[in-house]
Amino acid sequence: KAGVTQTPRYLIKTRGQQVTLSCSPISGHRSVSWYQQTPGQGLQFLFEYFSETQRNKGNFPGRFSGRQFSNSRSEMNVSTLELGDSALYLCASKVGSLNTEAFFGQGTRLTVV
C-alpha cells in the first residue's frame, strides 16, 4: 500500500513569488491535513480538507490556501512568499476527519531567498 506522496521534495523560491505544493494521500483516505514545521515553532496546523471541503484552518494569513480534489489529492498554495515561510511543509492523511492517527508524507522543504 503506497504511503503519502508529496511533491516536490525541495523547492527554492524568491520573495514575492508564489508556490504550489502537492500531496497524494494513502488510497482510501479522505482527510488531508497540512502542517508547517520550523525549528522555532515546531509543527503548526495549517488546514484540513475532507471530501473537498475545508474543515478547519489554523492561525495563518490568507496567503496560505489549499484545496482538495475529488480523488482526495490536495494542493496548498502560498502567495507573495516571505523569508519566514521557509519551512518543511508536511501533509498528513487520515481515513476520516474523526480519526486521530495521521500518516505523514516526507514533506516539501521550501526555502525562500
Partner 1 sequence: TQLLEQSPQFLSIQEGENLTVYCNSSSVFSSLQWYRQEPGEGPVLLVTVVTGGEVKKLKRLTFQFGDARKDSSLHITAAQPGDTGLYLCAGEGSGYALNFGKGTSLLVTP
* Coil/strand/helix, residue 96: coil
CA 87 from centre of chain: 11
**85: phi then psi, degrees, rounded to nearest 5:** -80, -5
Q: Taking the complex as a whole, how short is the minimal distance between the CB of residue 83 and partner 1, in angstroms?
A: 21
Enumerate residues 61-90 that contact partner 1 by CB under 8 A.
90
The binder of partner 1 chosen from 26, 32, 87, 92 (CB under 8 A): 92
Residue 43 found at the interface with partner 1 (CB under 8 A): yes
Q: How far apart are CA 103 and CA 97, in angstroms?
A: 13
Instruction: Write out the residues near partner 1 by the rule CB under 8 A.
Output: 4, 6, 31, 33, 35, 41-45, 48, 50, 55-56, 58, 90, 92, 97-98, 100-107, 109
